[in-house]
Copies of this chain bind each other. A is one copy, B any other.
Amino acid sequence: MSNPIVTFIETRASTNLFEPGRTLADEQIEELTRLAARAPTAYNLQNWRFIAVKTQDAKERLKAAAYGQAKVSEAAVTYILCGKLPSHNVVEERLRPAVDAGFMPAEMVGAWTAAVEDSYRDNPQRQRDEAVRTATLGAAFLMLAAEACGLATGPMVGFDPEAVAREFGLSADEIPVVLIAVGHAREGNWPQKPRLPVSRILEIA
């Protein structure tokens, strides 16, 4: 299979060393976010928020919350991917455009609202899992979009979530799930690290 998507998958590596001083225009930050948000979410809840950290001051605050990792200040932008605890109150608004577009029957909106309420009510772990899943899918599509635009990406889970929440004003229903540094790679990055053989991770049932 020689295919641009397969090539991306087989060659992409997490970038640690970025060219400092390079920037992204706000329009590019917005375009990457628009593409990242095409990732699927349960019930189309879109329970995420993207914080693009680009100013020197904000980078220094995020770097301190990320145990001093240099790529936070060296990359052009680091996105904080926040997942939000799901709420049935937003379902109507999230689905209305699909009804207006003519493919979703209007009567399904109430059913999906009830399903969301049933699924997550009184289940804080399930709510948190959904927030983590949603933000992670957004992160995956963000990395994909950035690499498609010729940019390098470096995901990070090493950060203090309380410090990130405090410094960037996250609300009580928002969880900082992963940081994605985006920018221009400099020399010296590692290639993709070898993976386990498929036989070690796959069962066919």
Contact between A5 and B8, CB atoms less than 8 A apart: yes
| Residue ID in chain B nearest A115 by CB atoms | B158
A133 near B132: Cβ-Cβ < 8 Å: yes
Does A178 count as interface, using CB distance less than 8 angstroms?
A: yes
Task: Say yes or no for A64: interface residue by CB 8 A criterion.
Answer: no
User: Which residue of B has the minimal Cβ distance to A54?
Assistant: B204
Return the CB mask of A57-100 against B: 1 if under 8 Å, else 0: 01000000000000000000000000000000000001101100
Distance to closest chain B CB from A173 (angstroms): 14
A10 within 8 A of B: yes
B196 x A37 contact (CB < 8 A): yes
Contacts of A114 in B (CB 8 A): none
A-B contact pairs, 13 of them (CB 8 A): A9-B144, A9-B145, A30-B198, A34-B195, A46-B196, A49-B202, A54-B204, A55-B205, A98-B194, A104-B190, A104-B193, A129-B132, A133-B177
